Amino acid sequence: MDNFVYNANPGRVIFGSGTISRLAEEADRLGARRTLVLSTPEQAAQVDDIARHLGSRVAGLYPKATMHTPIEVTAEAMQVVEKLQADAVISIGGGSTTGLGKAIAFRTDLPQIVIPTTYAGSEATPILGETENGRKVTKSDPRILPEVIIYDVDLTLTLPVSLSVTSGINAVAHAVEALYAREANPIISMMAEAGIAALARALPLIRNDPQDRSARADALYGAWLCGVCLGSVGMALHHKLCHTLGGMFNLPHAPMHTAVLPHAVAYNSAATPDAMKRISRALGSEDAAGGLYDLASGLGATMSLQSLGMPEDGVEAAAEQAMANPYWNPRPLERDALTSLLAGAYRGEAPAFR
């Protein structure tokens, strides 16, 4: 076995059905008495109901979390934090809400409780991506990692099938890149393969029966594993492209990851044969990139960046920006191949090996 380094991130995970009932208990463990509860505008009603578990521990709600964590939204939320003298933040929802909670914690070091209602997986990472002036910039810091995650399978039963699929493939992307990250190690690789397999099993079952509790639990468990992978090792080409596209064009986060992933995997395929074997095995497919495309498209996901709102002239611009400040990647970035990759994703074609 090769030498490796493994860093485990701290954090408390509560997993099951009905676990939202333990929210007040977890707030008390953190000594939180004046919590600020975060959500997107669309989830405000659901969050108001969940917040009742906190009783008098709620100082206020901020229902304006926004995709890609724009800094102007964070600035407004920080004013609310200061006005309410909040001593903790509770993020309820998907990656947008979790991102806002992380942005606040990065600036204040306030403790966080995250209650995921999607399969984003970002709740398990010390990574924050913020958007300013058309660019999404990521940073990693111990303050960003939430102290507590409460996974309640019951809260995912109403997640629409379309969002379940793209959210799940977004989580898969975390594990896929962990398999060939520069810091890859056997512990994370084991978790990554298990996370991919769990979501690959669960998503078709959820499509057939959104109320399948066993499948929902499997998907949520898989998303957690994938998030741990992302939080423990580095990112590569796929995440660089999605951060570039999200910052430049404000494309919907999970569908964008879903459309790009097969193409990024195809790009790296020859450079990472062992990772490709693990991905293929987890998917039950002969080809990692093709298996990812078939899984997502077979479940009805939109595979075209054009359909998600990307302009055609954005292909060249995105390739240029991705090349300007690249993440580490197992295969060096080549301008023509990268442009071809983005063009294929723009059109929604099956991945090609470039």
Residue 40 — left, alpha, or beta (φ > 0 → left; ψ -120 to 50 → alpha)? beta
Q: Give the mean pLDDT of the chain.
A: 95
Please check whether residue 59 lies inside any domain of the structure. Answer: yes
- Is 2 within a domain? no
Q: Which of 120, 139, 156 is the last residue of a domain?
A: 156
Same domain? For 94 and 181 the reply is no
Q: Is residue 300 part of a domain?
A: yes
pLDDT digits (tens, 9 = 90+) for 112-166: 999 999 998 999 999 999 998 888 888 999 999 999 999 999 999 999 999 999 9
4: in domain: no
Q: pLDDT: is 221 or 43 the higher one?
A: 221
Q: What does the angle CA 305 – CA 307 – CA 313 come to, to the nearest 5 degrees?
A: 55
Regarding whether 131 and 18 lie in a shared domain, the answer is: yes
Distance in angstroms (rounded) separating the CA atoms of residues 352 and 307: 20
Q: Is residue 6 part of a domain?
A: no
Residue 354, pLDDT > 80, answer no
Statement to judge: residues 19 and 125 lie in one domain:
yes
What are 272-325's pLDDT values in tens digits? 999 999 999 999 999 999 999 999 999 999 999 999 999 989 999 999 999 988
Could you tell me if residue 193 is inside a domain? yes
Residue at 18 is within a domain:
yes
CATH number of the domain that 167 lies in?
1.20.1090.10
**263 & 120 share domain:** no
Domain span holding position 145? 12-156
Do 115 and 203 fall within a single domain?
no
User: Is 31 domain-assigned?
Assistant: yes
Same domain as 173, residue 113: no
Compute CA distances 132 → 75, 150, 240, whole Å. Answer: 12, 30, 16
Do 173 and 280 have their domain in common? yes
CB 188 within 8 A of CB 227: no
Q: Are residues 248 and 333 in the same domain?
A: yes
Of 156, 180, 206, which residue sits at a domain end? 156
Please identify, among 132, 156, 180, the residue that sits at the C-terminal boundary of a domain: 156
Helix (H) / strand (E) containing 59? strand 58-62
116: domain CATH number is 3.40.50.1970
- Please tell me the total count of domains within the chain: 2
Mark whether 191 and 151 lie in a shared domain.
Answer: no
- Report the alpha-carbon distance of residue 140 to residue 142 in Å, rounded: 7
Placement of tokens 């485990």 in the chain: 8
Note whether 87 and 225 are same-domain residues.
no
Rounded distance between C-alpha atoms, residue 74 and residue 347, angstroms: 34
Note the pLDDT tens digit of each residue in 53-111. 999 999 999 999 999 999 999 999 999 999 999 999 999 999 999 999 999 999 999 99
Strands 135-140 and 127-132, bridge-based pairing = antiparallel
Identify whether residues 137 and 228 lie together within a single domain: no
Q: Who wins on pLDDT, 353 or 297? A: 297
Do 182 and 324 lie in one domain? The reply is: yes
Q: What pTM value is reported for the model?
A: 0.94
Strand partners, 140: 127
Sequence-distant (≥ 6) Cβ neighbours of residue 112 within 8 angstroms: 88, 89, 90, 91, 101, 102, 105, 146, 147, 148
